[in-house]
Amino acid sequence: MKAAVLYNPGGPENFIIETRPVREPGKGEVLIKVKAFGLNRSELMTRKGLSPSVSFPRILGIECVGEVVTDPSGYFAKKQKVAAVMGEMGRQFDGSYAEYTVLPKEIIVPFESNLEWSTLGAIPEMFHTVSGSLHLALKIKQEETILIRGGTSSVGMLAIQMAKNAGLKVIATTRQKEKTGSLLNNGADHVIIDDGNISNRTREIFPGGVNKVLELVGTSTLKDSLLCVAQGGSVCFTGMLSEQWWISNFVPMDYIPATVNLTVFDSGQVKMDKDRLQAFINDVEAGNIKLNISHIFMLDDIVEAHRFMESNAGSGKIVVVA
C-alpha cells in the first residue's frame, strides 16, 4: 500500500510517500480500505512535534471513511461502509494517511450513503466534535444565544449551521474581515472581528451576555470567552487553533466568572454514535446541511495539503482522497 510516513517531526516536507505492506488485522481489529479522510489541526500539531506522547515513524490521521476489507470477528461485512475517528489512531498506532489502515473495532462506525467519498471524508471528526460540543457538553436549546469563537474553521462552520438549525441566535468570530460574508452566508446572525478581546462587543449585541460559547481558538482566548457569557451560561472548550495547550497561573476563582460553567468536549473520550452519524449523513444528502469543504487533495499531495492547512487560507474542511 501507499502511505505518507512521518519519520521526524517538522515541516510538511517531512512527509515521505512510500510503499508498505498491508498488515493483517489481529483480534479486535479490522482492516479498512481508506477512501478519504479529513485533515485536522491536531495532526498539524503532531507533525510539528507538539504531541509528546507520539513516537516516530508514524502514519498520521485521526479519522477516515472507507470500506471493510477484513474483520476477523465477522461483525462487519466485507465492503461495509464505515467511519472511524480518534481512539489514538495516528498517535499510538498508525492512522489514515494511507491506502489501508488497521483499526480497533470499537472506534469503527458503519453507515450507508450514496455521497461521494470526497464528501464523506469531511464528516467523521467534524460531525462528532460539533454534535458532541453542542448537544452533549453545552446542551443547547431553542431560542438560546451562542458565540462560536473560531467560526471560519471547519468545526466552526458546521457548528453555525447546526446551531441555527436547532433554533439558536449565532454570533461567529473571525480574525479576517474579508471572511465576514462567508460567515453570514453560512447562517451566522452576527459576526465579530476577533482581536482577542471581544467580550464588550459581544455584550453590545446581547447586553446580558450569551447563553453558550463554543471555544475553538483555545487557551489564548478562553478567559475573554468566559466574560461573554450570561450568569448560568456555559463555555465549551473544544478547539486549540492557537496551538497552546495550557493556561499559565490558572486561578479558578479569578478566571471563571461566578455561576458560569466551563466544560470541554474531547472526541477521543466519547464514542461516535451510529444513529446520530447516519441521521447527519441523511441531512447532508437531503440538503439540510451544507458541508464547507475548502479543498480536496490526493494522498500523493499530502505535503501541499498540510501547507494549505497551515496557511489558514481556507474556510472549511480539507479532505484527502486515498
For 247-301, the pLDDT digits (tens) are: 888 999 999 999 999 999 999 899 999 999 999 999 999 999 999 899 999 999 9
Q: Examine the domain organization and report whether 148 and 201 are in the same domain.
A: yes
Instruction: For residues 98 and 33, give the distance between their C-alpha atoms in angstroms, rounded to a whole number.
Output: 9
Instruction: For residues 265 and 270, give the distance between their C-alpha atoms in angstroms, rounded to a whole number.
Output: 8
Q: Examine the domain organization and report whether 133 and 112 are in the same domain.
A: no
pLDDT at 22: 98
Residue 241's nearest CA partner among 289, 194, 304, 305 is: 194
Q: Examine the domain organization and report whether 74 and 149 are in the same domain.
A: no
Please state whether beta strands 145-149 and 108-110 pair in parallel, antiparallel, or not at all (unpaired). Answer: unpaired
Q: Examine the domain organization and report whether 26 and 135 are in the same domain.
A: no
Query: Where in the sequence is the domain holding 215, given as residue range(s)?
Result: 126-264
pLDDT at 320: 98
Instruction: For residues 316 and 299, give the distance between their C-alpha atoms in angstroms, rounded to a whole number.
Output: 19
Q: Would you say residue 232 lies in a domain?
A: yes
pLDDT at 78: 98
Q: Examine the domain organization and report whether 159 and 93 are in the same domain.
A: no
pLDDT at 271: 93
Q: Examine the domain organization and report whether 109 and 134 are in the same domain.
A: no
Please check whether residue 127 is in contact with residue 65, taking contact to mean a CB–CB distance below 8 angstroms: no
For residue 149, how many C-alpha atoms fall within 13 Å in the half-sphere facing its CB?
A: 34
CA dist list (Å): 31 to 63, 84, 273: 14, 12, 21
Instruction: For residues 32 and 110, give the distance between their C-alpha atoms in angstroms, rounded to a whole number.
Output: 12
Q: Would you say residue 276 lies in a domain?
A: no
128, three cell numbers: 462528532
Q: Examine the domain organization and report whether 132 and 245 are in the same domain.
A: yes
For 205-239, the pLDDT digits (tens) are: 999 999 999 999 999 999 999 999 999 999 999 98
Q: Would you say residue 271 lies in a domain?
A: no
Q: Would you say residue 270 lies in a domain?
A: no
Each of the 322 residues of the chain gets a pLDDT tens digit; together they read 999 999 999 999 999 999 999 999 999 999 999 999 999 989 999 999 999 999 999 999 999 999 999 999 999 999 999 999 999 999 999 999 999 999 999 999 999 999 999 999 999 999 999 999 999 999 999 999 999 999 999 899 999 999 999 999 999 999 999 999 999 999 999 999 999 999 999 999 999 999 999 999 999 999 999 999 999 999 999 988 777 778 888 999 999 999 999 999 999 899 999 999 999 999 999 999 999 899 999 999 999 999 999 998 777 899 999 9
Length of the chain: 322
Q: Examine the domain organization and report whether 38 and 90 are in the same domain.
A: yes
Which CATH number covers residue 191? 3.90.180.10
Instruction: For residues 177 and 109, give the distance between their C-alpha atoms in angstroms, rounded to a whole number.
Output: 39
The single-letter code of the amino acid at 122 is A
Q: Examine the domain organization and report whether 64 and 163 are in the same domain.
A: no
Instruction: For residues 64 and 34, give the distance between their C-alpha atoms in angstroms, rounded to a whole number.
Output: 7
- Is the dihedral angle over the CA atoms 153, 156, 160, 165 positive or is it negative? positive
Q: Examine the domain organization and report whether 71 and 200 are in the same domain.
A: no
Please check whether residue 64 is in contact with residue 84, taking contact to mean a CB–CB distance below 8 angstroms: yes
Q: Would you say residue 274 lies in a domain?
A: no
Three-state secondary structure of 178-213: HHHHHHHHCCCCEEEECCCCCHHHHHHHCCCCEEEE
Q: Examine the domain organization and report whether 25 and 86 are in the same domain.
A: yes
Q: Would you say residue 273 lies in a domain?
A: no
Q: Examine the domain organization and report whether 130 and 119 are in the same domain.
A: no
Question: How many structural domains are present in the chain?
Answer: 2
Residue 322's nearest CA partner among 34, 21, 5 is: 34
Q: Would you say residue 269 lies in a domain?
A: no
Q: Would you say residue 282 lies in a domain?
A: no
pLDDT at 164: 97
pTM over 0.85: yes
